[in-house]
Chain A
């Protein structure tokens, strides 16, 4: 338990330091804020002082001489006071928001550097919670706490000096409560710190659950599982409530404890002061003033303890952000990694093995070579490892063993961006972004002209259905993809790949949801597209692949047959069986 606390405190200071690093970028403005805090505190004290003085010199003696001037001066003091308050807040809000802006940007940018593996096991909503809810914690703390901490420390130093000057003895007595305070605060914050973390974690879980249930509405509804997800939701919501409840309860203790200790300190000072006064050690006047200062001394201490607690909640949020920022990135490109300005499209696999979980190899000892411009088809039962091979070419994952060579360069030695810029993909699930049809196609090549976009759509046989949409190419697609069929999405994905104009083309079940007549129509387009490019095709319909220069038959992660359509048929092996099966089904039964 003790050990745990230590670790916690270590991470607390580390996190606070790290937040400070973000803040310290704005050193200039921060000093401005500090200056304004000093100024507003000073002016805040000066005002009452002038009033007191005015009462003594004017009101008490019934003099009006220069009262107008004094009041004008006082007005000016108050104006400056307000201005300095306003300025410190204005600047601080700027700093705080810039800070969380940077954190958000970094978090987002980080996502694009994490290996695909990272996303395999994460709930989207849980990650989203970090960008919104967790950063929100940091934001609200920064907005108020920095100023408060500044001004509390300032007041603390001020009153402490006055107190020491007045009576060191009584000061020491006043300080009796400080250790008590520390004990109390430690007791409370060791709990709130843990609870805040738990709260943010539970909030993230809940967020993840909500996201998933919204994405999966179709299934929830058709399986009428609403009650089930609601009760699961309630369990998660209850967890959040529990953590939140105790966090609030303990947080609520802080001002009460401080208040109690203040009163204790006042009584002690009064009692001790009484004894000292009896002995003539201090004057009564000193005690009177001192009790007042003792009260002033504890107020900033109060504030500081509250702020410390708020800081814990910021740390709970920031920790979750930093967790992601500290995630191991996709192995960065080697230092000598090269950029390829031109790719001929030679792809070679040399004894490549790979496993997703480090346990069982999904593909093993894969070797083949595709010459520039060749088309390679991957065939085999589901789960055989076809998409995995594609994933390795695209470097979503890196092989565990063996090498992949592109134009003779080991693919690891090529910059990922550069490598991918020579490839275009139509992936199994055709993802569309929220935006217009045109924007979605243009994703393939951002500088493409409208005409090029339309040409690509024509080649993919998507032009006709796009033209029939309410706003044609400017029709807005929703993120959930409603109003557009799966097959049409694939046509758009193909247009996108056509537009990209790559050296290496990858089609993973690119036409699986497209009807066969349309497919025939785009075959022409695809054939033209594939000309002069190295292409990899996964398809179940054998007619889409029999023209390929090379067919790799894959089963259980291994290449079991290799060759052209005719060669494989002559071999009378696995492919022959597949082909016979399809052939029979089509020919014998259809005709």
Chain B
């Protein structure tokens, strides 16, 4: 399994931990002998000297075991915690490289469970394995060996039962790992409903659907409970069955032992010895129940982790960079671009051709669902076109490094998404080393500076998840400022001014002009579009008209209709 490869770096630590465990085990096995000696040679002989003497030795070696045990703890914890840390790291790094098609395959709630809960399962398993798991098989093997040494024929009872039981255990483990796999899936589901409810809490409140949602959660929760109980119960059958068969073997030993004693082939002492060993083997086997559970969970979890590590990020990064350009704006060109979302057949963009010269402003206009936002997402390569190419400064963006490509672009999505942290931290997303002055000037241009200055903590003010203590318009402007801090060569504004009042919007657009970047702007308002050098009119994924305002007024009926729809105001006024 692939997760094993994560163990490689910790071979040393694991080796030391295992060696220390063996020391401990050796001491543990030797102790009964010493104890027997203390009793036989000391106490029974009334020899106090020997008791003290051997007692000191025993304390000495148990101190050794103690020290090994403690040291083992450090090494085992070191190996398992780092193992978990490394897996988390590769998972998270992998997820950052996910394309949106990957994200569609793995819901967020499931990714989260995998990165925390599943990793924890593996980590626990490794820690326990390094400390005790090996002990059980060793004890079993040791017990059998000793039994065979005493009397092969009687030990045969175990030799028959044990392989059988081992198969049984493997079978249980296989079954229960499948069951635990399902448990984890149900956990994803619970997580999913929970996440949805947190995100939609206002809507749920607004429609008083708390009870309805509780019902939905109950289903997910009930399934999780049932599955968990089922999986656990399957693993827990192992021990009673195992004990029963081991005990049957003991009965056989007694029965055949008795017969062999009659025929003089075996002594009573030998039978007693074998019965004693069987007790030890049985005790060791009992540990297996726990091992089985932990291991089957670990198998299930490692499968889920591997699913992520093995997922193909289907958008591959290019290796090139653009030639240095002195121009503040970049040339953007769409050549015959068609696009459908992964796993769907409906084309949302069909044969799109246009270009935006450096520094130009291009407005995209079109009905709801005509493909405007989809077109935007192709530029930073959130998705790749299914046909055609997108070029920047004449270079196919697929040949560019992600980082390089995306550094050219300032993207302001429709929903202003901010992160937990201060305003300053959020603005620094645009440029890590941005100075406060740069941020202030970007905030100023985005018409949000004054608002920030009025906050008690100003630029240090903290934003909650999704920056909820700001109004919709304020969030939008902050997310515009974030893009402006970057001083992008290409600015993408996806209907980002919808929550702004007209005065603010006008000031904002005025300020943008000083940036000289190539600007693509999605808008509903003719008044905004009109200011652009070029307007693209989209319908059902195709550009049905393009040109400047006058041109479209003259040639496009739809454009005139849109204008008309916005002029209602003065006709009635």
Contacts and interface: CB of A to CB of B under 8 A. Distances in A.
Given A229-B96, A274-B43, A108 B205 contact: no
Interface in A533-583: 540-543, 546, 565, 569, 578-579, 581-583
A516 B524 contact: yes
A470 B346 contact: yes
B62 interface: yes
B112 A125 contact: yes
B39 A291 contact: yes
B530 A589 contact: yes
Contacts of B142: none
Contacts of A105: 214, 217-218, 221
B191 A131 contact: yes
Interface string B196-221: 11111111111111101110011001
Interface stretch (B46-54, B166-174, B303-311): B46-54
Of A133, A218, A383, A589, most B-chain CB atoms within 10 Å:
A383
B221 A267 contact: no
A350 interface: no
Interface in A142-201: 143-144
B287 interface: no
B44 interface: yes
A251 to B, nearest CB: 8
A51 B52 contact: no
Interface in A211-254: 211-226, 228-230, 233-234, 237-238, 240-241, 244-246, 248-253
A361 interface: no
A45 interface: no
B69 A275 contact: no
A123 interface: yes
Contacts of B251: 71, 74-75, 78
A486 to B, nearest CB: 5
B366 A394 contact: no
Interface string B469-499: 1111110110000100010000000010011
A502 B64 CA distance: 78
B109 interface: yes
Nearest to B48: A274
A262 B70 CA distance: 16
A562 to B, nearest CB: 18
Q: Which of A90, A206, A217, A546 has most chain B Cβ within 10 Å?
A: A217
Interface residues of B, number: 187
A274 B207 contact: no
B429 interface: yes
Interface in A93-126: 93-94, 97-98, 100-101, 104-105, 108-109, 111-113, 116, 119-125
Contacts of A246: 77
B208 A516 contact: no
A122 B425 CA distance: 18
B547 interface: no
A263 B58 contact: yes
Contacts of B341: 482-483
A165 B82 CA distance: 51
B164 interface: no
Q: Interface centre among A109, A221, A259, A565, by most B CB within 10 Å?
A: A221
Given A108-B197, A259-B69, A216 B112 contact: no
Given A255-B69, A284-B44, A546-B573, A112 B213 contact: yes
B403 A224 contact: yes
Interface in B75-122: 76-78, 80-82, 84-85, 88-89, 92-93, 95-98, 100, 103-104, 107-109, 111-113, 115-117, 120
Contact of B198 (A121, A128, A381, A478): A128
Contacts of B127: 248
A1 interface: no
B449 interface: no
A101 B112 CA distance: 21
A71 B116 contact: no
B278 to A, nearest CB: 10
A237 B89 contact: yes
Given A128-B195, A255-B69, A417-B208, A590 B567 contact: yes
Interface string A40-73: 0000000110010011001110101001000100
A79 B104 contact: no
A108 B66 contact: no
A443 B370 CA distance: 26
A402 interface: no
Given A108-B217, A241-B81, A132 B191 contact: yes
A59 B562 contact: no
Nearest to A256: B69
Interface stretch (A14-22, A339-347, A366-374, A422-430): A422-430
A132 B187 contact: yes
Interface stretch (A4-12, A25-33, A81-89): A81-89
A129 interface: yes
Interface size on A, as a range, is 35 or more
Contact of A270 (B51, B244, B407, B573): B51
Interface string B494-515: 0100111111101000000000
B527 interface: yes
Contacts of A589: 527, 530
Contacts of A485: 368-369, 372-373
B359 to A, nearest CB: 21
Interface in A435-480: 443-444, 446, 465, 468-470, 478-480
Nearest to B66: A260
Given A54-B254, A83-B240, A420 B62 contact: no
Interface string B517-551: 00000001111001000000000000000000100
B206 A434 contact: no
Contact of A465 (B31, B82, B123, B369): B369
B112 A214 contact: yes
Interface stretch (B2-10, B143-151, B222-230): B222-230
B70 A90 contact: no
Interface stretch (A405-413, A507-515, A524-532): A507-515
B131 A210 contact: no
A267 B199 contact: no
B567 A587 contact: yes
Contacts of B51: 270-271, 274
Interface stretch (B257-265, B320-328, B384-392): B257-265
Interface stretch (B350-358, B412-420, B434-442): B412-420
B168 to A, nearest CB: 14
B190 interface: yes
A421 interface: yes
A312 to B, nearest CB: 16
A90 B123 CA distance: 27
Contact of A89 (B233, B345, B504): B233
A249 B130 CA distance: 12
A2 interface: no
A355 to B, nearest CB: 11
B456 A359 contact: yes
B279 interface: yes
B430 interface: yes
A111 B271 contact: no
B26 to A, nearest CB: 14
A288 interface: yes
A307 interface: no
A67 B244 contact: no
23 contacts: A47-B247, A64-B262, A74-B251, A128-B198, A214-B112, A218-B382, A244-B81, A249-B74, A255-B69, A257-B66, A271-B48, A277-B43, A288-B44, A382-B473, A386-B471, A423-B206, A428-B499, A431-B199, A515-B370, A543-B569, A581-B503, A582-B502, A582-B527
Which 5 A-B residue pairs are closest in the complex by CB-CB distance? A382-B473, A252-B73, A487-B368, A256-B69, A112-B210
Given A219-B429, A274-B48, A487-B368, 13 more contacts: A67-B255, A82-B247, A121-B465, A210-B116, A214-B108, A256-B70, A260-B63, A278-B46, A284-B46, A387-B471, A488-B369, A520-B565, A583-B570
